[in-house]
Amino acid sequence: MRRERACLVGAQVRRRGNGWALADSVAELSALASAAGANPVTTVTQTLNAPSPTYVGSGKLDEIAETVRDFHVETVICDDELTPAQQRVLEDRLEVKVIDRTALILDIFAGRARTREGKLQVELAQVEYLMPRLAGQWSHLERLGGGIGTRGPGESQIETDRRLMRLKARDLRRSILDVRDQRGSQRRRRQRGEVKTVSLVGYTNAGKSALFNTLTGSDIRSVDRPFETLDTTTRRLYLPSGASATLSDTVGFINKLPPILIDAFNATLEEAMFADLLVHVTDISNPLAAESAEVVDSVLADLGLGETPRVLVLNKLDLVTDVPPPAEEISNDGNVMTSAIKRWGIDELRSAIDVALGNVSAVDEVDDAAATIAV
């Protein structure tokens, strides 16, 4: 299958950064573009003193136009969400398809959703994203000038499309509410059985699904690429104390996560919202591990989960060292280092979850460890 040749464009306003360097953000955009099936052949970036109505400055826009011609680019992908006006201006000037980070992520989501719930949520996000951009779909009528066959038909078609999309969005929301009610019924049955709930959360591609499989003995799809998991999966988790809990794998977060996606994926994220404990999984091998963790903390705070108890897991330890550290170093200060693939630190993580859920005290854990050593 032929991959579209893409030019990546990143812009950052001075003193408005979110802790991420522009180069790192565009590098992540490149990984997303590749995951969507594009071939990023070149990159153009700019640091601005103030936001631009054309996303980049006029001189840089001329440079991008030249780059598009020189590299035979078919698609320009911008690292931020564009306004409908910005997108129209860029497409007019560059004469190629222009999409933004939000459209790119939606495209990935559309290809990864497996369950009815996931597909409904992706479709709702796509409809809400496209609705304010409908006018641009009829810009060819504007180019014809005025006259018969342009003004009335074009305007009525836009209004018709908007009305149909509003109806579509309404129907999708109703369907998602039905799914949410079903999930709520399942959750209430678990709560009546006094089973505590644990949710895996974290940056996309941190290894949550691999850790989920290792902890629960499941075999859900686990691939090393962004947004592999969109659909929530819940399984029983057995703990050292003899108690059990339910463990849910949730959609990963990402830098510059569009609010429209958080809104659309509320049904999926409800498992985290009602969890007794969050297990925050971080890829310790990622040079931007600290920045990624901050993104997750920020999104959780926006969801009202800032005060929910959590255990921090530093995963993918095998990509940092060939030899696992001693057991006493695996778990420290409430954090646990793991390798889901090599099963390093899994017993320690189970114990940390047990303690965090209140099934056993930390003192009991120390006493049990001492007894084991004495034996």
Mean pLDDT over each residue of the chain, to the nearest integer = 84
For the record, the structure tokens of 243 come out as 């108690």
- pLDDT for 250: 85
- pLDDT for 162: 75
- pLDDT for 230: 67
For the stretch 31-50, pLDDT in tens is 999 999 999 999 999 999 99
Q: 281: closest CA among 197, 195, 199?
A: 199
Q: 254: closest CA among 98, 23, 25?
A: 25
Q: Give the other-Cβ count within 10 Å of 20's Cβ.
A: 19
Beta bridge partners of 8: 43, 77
For residues 302 and 41, give the distance between their C-alpha atoms in angstroms, rounded to a whole number: 36
Q: Give the other-Cβ count within 10 Å of 58's Cβ.
A: 9
pTM of this structure: 0.82
Report the percentage of the chain scoring pLDDT > 90: 51
For the stretch 175-205, pLDDT in tens is 888 877 776 666 666 565 578 999 999 999 9
- pLDDT for 221: 72
Q: Looking at beta carbons, which pairs linking 350-353 to residues 24 or more positions away fall under 8 Å?
A: 350/215, 350/237, 350/239, 350/240, 351/240, 352/311, 353/198, 353/237, 353/239, 353/245, 353/277, 353/279, 353/311
Spans in the chain with pLDDT lower than 70 = 1, 17-18, 135-158, 183-193, 222-225, 228-231, 264-268, 361-375
Q: 9 φ, ψ to 5°?
A: -125, 125
For residues 63 and 325, give the distance between their C-alpha atoms in angstroms, rounded to a whole number: 51
For residues 247 and 209, give the distance between their C-alpha atoms in angstroms, rounded to a whole number: 11
